[in-house]
Structure 1
Amino acid sequence: MLTCKQQVARSSDYLDGQLTFRERLLVRHHLLFCPNCRRFIKQMRLLNATLKRLPQAPPADLDATIERMLRERSGHKQRD
């Protein structure tokens, strides 16, 4: 059986489908008995799904948006 450290080292390859059949079995066997690593894999899946939903490139007006936010933030601090 894999240790948790070995499991974590294989997690990305496991999620990307890059492990051999034997390695996948070892990972699944470990996950069957280790709730902490199951939670870790679940978090990794959630992170991957979130990253896939992000835009590939920043918006064209990113600098203008940052400037506007900084101005608004400065205005709120002066009023307090």
Structure 2
Amino acid sequence: MLKCREVTELGSEIIDRRLSFRTRLAVLAHLSLCPHCRLYLRQLRLTAETLQRLPPEEEPKATAIFEAIRRRQDGPKD
């Protein structure tokens, strides 16, 4: 039987249904006994669904932040 760590490492594959038949059976067996992993996968699915519904940004916020930092670093020096 799979351990919790193995199930969480397979999280994306579980949600995207990219598991072999054998692995899928092992995951289902584990989930039938582990409420913690069921909750984890439910939260992971909800997060993935929420992110898919967000409108795409023209420029990722992280990129804008890094650009602002770079401009400050390249700014006038005393």
TM-score for both structures, normalised by structure 1: 0.69
Larger fraction in helix:
1
- Number of the residue aligned with 1:47: 47
- Number of the residue aligned with 2:6: 6
User: Which protein, 1 or 2, shows the higher relative CO under an 8 Å CA cutoff with sep ≥ 6?
Assistant: 2
Structure with max Cα Rg: 1
Give the Cα–Cα distance (whole angstroms) in 1 for the partners of residues 48 and 18 of structure 2: 15
Q: Give structure 1 stretches of 5+ with no counterpart.
A: 60-80
Q: Does 2:20 correspond to 1:20? A: yes
TM-score for both structures, normalised by structure 2: 0.71
Q: Which amino acid aligns with 1:10?
A: L
Q: Give structure 2 stretches of 5+ with no counterpart.
A: 60-78
Compute the displacement of 1:57 (Å): 2.1
| SS at 1:19 equivalent | coil
Compute the displacement of 1:11 (Å): 1.2
Q: CA RMSD in A?
A: 1.6
Q: What is the aligned length?
A: 60
Compute the displacement of 1:8 (Å): 0.5
Moved over 4 A (4+): none
